[in-house]
Amino acid sequence: MVNYWIFVSVPFTDFNTGTNLCEMLKKIAGTKKWLIGRRTPHREILAEGDKVLFYQGGEEGRKVVASAELASSLHSDNADSFAEIKNIEVWKKPVDMNALIDRLSFIKNKKHWGVYLQGGVVRIAEKDYNMIVKKRGKAETT
């Protein structure tokens, strides 16, 4: 069974780089590892084959900017936990979440929708995943 996820990133907290998510995805394209925090929800049920969207939060974000597939479940090496990712597509036209809020089933309180995109990993329905993917522009695979 395939699960669908949104991996949430906010500048200045992820990898202490201060870069935006698209730049971060290009940097990790070589390692194909997405770090997962110790207290991140759903970390134990991430599985190979799951579909992932990458959400850039923060004042200049609020957009889904890329998609990928999980190439593994959760791994640990030393102090870090990570999931391997493959087929990373950074979208030329990010999807503004404001335009979809009213139609996304995982967002129950439309007025305070930002709280549904907190915690690092958010589980979503397949129909929400497909709706967001349909809105993207052409992608560049990294």
In this structure, are strands 4-9 and 121-124 parallel, antiparallel, or unpaired? antiparallel
In this structure, are strands 33-35 and 80-96 parallel, antiparallel, or unpaired? antiparallel
Tens of pLDDT, residue by residue over 92-119, are 888 999 889 999 999 999 999 989 988 8
The CA distance from 57 to 38, in Å, is 20
The answer to whether 1 and 50 are in contact (CB under 8 A) is no
Structural domain total, the chain: 1
Residue 67 is predicted with a pLDDT of 94
Q: What are phi and psi of 21, to 5 degrees?
A: -65, -40
pLDDT band at 54 (very low <50, low <70, confident <90, very high): very high
Q: Which two three-digit tokens encode residue 19?
A: 């870069």
Rounded to two decimals, what is the model's pTM? Answer: 0.86
Helix (H) or strand (E) holding 141: strand 139-141
pLDDT band at 127 (very low <50, low <70, confident <90, very high): very high
pLDDT band at 81 (very low <50, low <70, confident <90, very high): confident
With 80 as the cut, is the pLDDT of residue 137 above it? no
Q: Which two three-digit tokens encode residue 61?
A: 């974000």
The residue ranking higher by pLDDT, 141 or 39, is: 39
With 80 as the cut, is the pLDDT of residue 11 above it? no
Residue 16 is predicted with a pLDDT of 46
The answer to whether 20 and 103 are in contact (CB under 8 A) is no
Domain that holds residue 40: 4-141
Question: Which CATH number belongs to the domain containing residue 20 in this structure?
Answer: 3.10.590.10
With 50 as the cut, is the pLDDT of residue 142 above it? no
The residue ranking higher by pLDDT, 84 or 17, is: 84
Place of tokens 């979503």: 124
